[in-house]
Amino acid sequence: MKEFNSSGEIIIQDSTITQPGSPVNKSYVDNLLPIESFVGTGSPEGKVVAPVGSIYVDSASTNGAIRWVKTSATGSTGWSVEHGDTGWREVVPINGWTGSIYIRRINSTVYYRGKIDAKAATNSTAWDIPLGFRIGNMLSTQGQGYEYGRAIVSTDENEPKIRNVSFYFSRFSINGYSTAHVYGINVSYPTPNEWPSSLPGTPA
């Protein structure tokens, strides 16, 4: 926080800002330190050494990430995306499911929308969740992951009703699916994943 006099000037003495003509000096706990700012191309993670609070702007908006902030560590690691948007990406259903699934990440939130048909489905897992979009980080040795939670997000097109789905670290499954039904998907959740190094599917 800074306070200015009528001339737009401030005087800094240690952690004290003095406004000339005022009988009271206002002190602050933290020293006033300049924030480092950088501009480059690509992710700064593991490349740009900076103190916590520094800002990095990717002029190429690589994979949709534009503005990064240094949130931890003292070296070149600890960068997190502060402003990023992958845009909608179309991913392909698996295990016999057909239809369209669209995925998007804005900052630390993942969004899904689409409509998929279970007519030829052979498994409850409708698609694999790509890196950078998962609800967790831990994977089993088989890569299948572990169930994290549930959300009610799908509807039956022929006879509207709510269905439960399961979120896993690396997959998305519809519980008790019926091969006679088409399911609409509309869901969002926060992700702790690092920003994706590559984008899944194709631009929507």
93 plus 66 within the same structural domain:
no
Measured in degrees and rounded to the nearest 5, phi and psi for residue 64 equal 90, 0
What pLDDT is stored for residue 183 in this prediction?
85
pLDDT by residue (tens digit) across 90-128?
Answer: 999 999 999 999 999 999 999 988 888 889 999 988 888
78 plus 104 within the same structural domain:
no
Handedness of CA 62, 64, 66, 70 (dihedral sign): negative
Bridge pairing between strands 109-117 and 16-18: unpaired
- Of 183 and 175, the one with more pLDDT: 183
R_g of the chain, CA atoms, integer Å: 24
What pLDDT is stored for residue 63 in this prediction?
97
Mean pLDDT of 158-170: 61
Q: Is residue 170 in a domain?
A: yes
With beta carbons less than 8 A apart as the criterion, state whether 116 and 141 touch: no
What pLDDT is stored for residue 34 in this prediction?
63
CA angle at 179 for the pair 178 and 180, rounded to the nearest 5°: 90
Residue 21 neighbours by CB distance under 10 Å: 7
Please state, in angstroms and rounded to a whole number, the distance separating the CA atoms of residues 5 and 64.
41
107 plus 197 within the same structural domain:
yes
What pLDDT is stored for residue 54 in this prediction?
92
| Last residue of one domain, picked from the residues 50, 84, 118 | 84
pLDDT by residue (tens digit) across 21-51?
Answer: 554 444 444 455 567 889 999 999 999 999 8
Please state, in angstroms and rounded to a whole number, the distance separating the CA atoms of residues 159 and 166.
21
- Expressed as residue numbers, the domain containing 102 is 89-203
- Of 98 and 11, the one with more pLDDT: 98
